[in-house]
Amino acid sequence: MQRRELPPFVVQANFAMFSRPDTKADRVSYMFPTPGALRGLLQAIYHKRNKATGKMVEVTPVKVEVLNEIQMQPIPQLRRKGIVVQADKRPPQSTARTGSTYLYDVRYRLHYIVEGEQILLDELETFIRTGAFYSAPYLGTRECLARIVPDEGAKPIRQTLVEAHMWLSNARPMSGKPGDPNFAVQPVLMQSGVVTYPKFTGEILSQRRWG
C-alpha cells in the first residue's frame, strides 16, 4: 500500500450543488465544496478495485483553491445532464429540480491524498492527466457535470468566509454496519480563496446508509 499526494488538477462546471442538509425540496448549496462531494468526484473518475483484495483507492480531500468568484442562482429546473430547462418546458418529475439555488460557473484546483496499491494510484494519475474517467464526474449532484481542464495557473479569489455548519463525513466508518459513514457538523474556513478541510472530529449527529 502507498500513500501519496496527487498532483493538483483543475475542474470546471456550469453548475454545482453541495446541498445544505437543512434545505429540503428547494435545496441551497454551500458556497464551496464539501469533502464528501470531492471524494465522490474522484471516485466517479476512477473506481477500479484491486483484483486480489477488492479494495478501491482511499481518497482524502485536503484543500481546494476557488478560482472563480462565488456566484449563486436559483434555477427553476435542471436536468441530470446539466441542461437548464426553460420554464415552459417541463421535464419528467424524476429529473426536475424546482427552485434550488446552485453555484454556477465554478472552477476549482483540487488537492487530494490517496492511498492504495501502486498500480491503481499510477493509473489514477494517468486518468487525471489525460482527462479520462470511468463515470462522468460531477460536482455535488449528478446533474452538475464537471470536466478536467488545463491548469492555466490562475490564482485563488481574494475572499475569506466561513461555512459555520458544514457537514463532514468520515472516510472510514466509526460505528454501525460497514458502509455507513458518520456525519458531523464542523466549521470550515475559506481564507483568501483557499479551503483547507479539518480532520473529522466532533459529535456524530446522524448516520446514513449508502445503498
Whether this prediction's pTM lies above 0.85 is answered by no
- Judged against a pLDDT cut of 60, whether residue 211 lies above it is answered with no
Kindly report, residue by residue over 64-116, the tens digit of the pLDDT: 999 999 999 888 755 544 444 333 333 333 344 457 899 999 999 999 999 99
Phi-psi region of 67 (alpha: psi -120 to 50; beta: other; left: phi over 0): alpha
DSSP-derived pairing of the beta strands 146-149 and 72-75:
unpaired
Sign of the alpha-carbon dihedral angle for 93, 99, 101, 102: positive
Calpha distance 83→79 (Å, rounded): 5
Pick from 93-102, 128-137, 179-188 the range whose average pLDDT is largest: 128-137
Tens of pLDDT along 85-96?
A: 333 333 333 344
For the chain, what is the mean pLDDT? 80
For 93, the 3-state DSSP assignment is helix
Percent of the chain residues past pLDDT 90, beyond the cut: 56
Band the pLDDT of 34: cuts 50, 70, 90.
very high
Which residues have C-beta within 8 Å of that of residue 8, sequence separation ≥ 6? Answer: 65, 109, 110, 111, 151
> What is the phi/psi pair of residue 179, to 5°?
90, 5
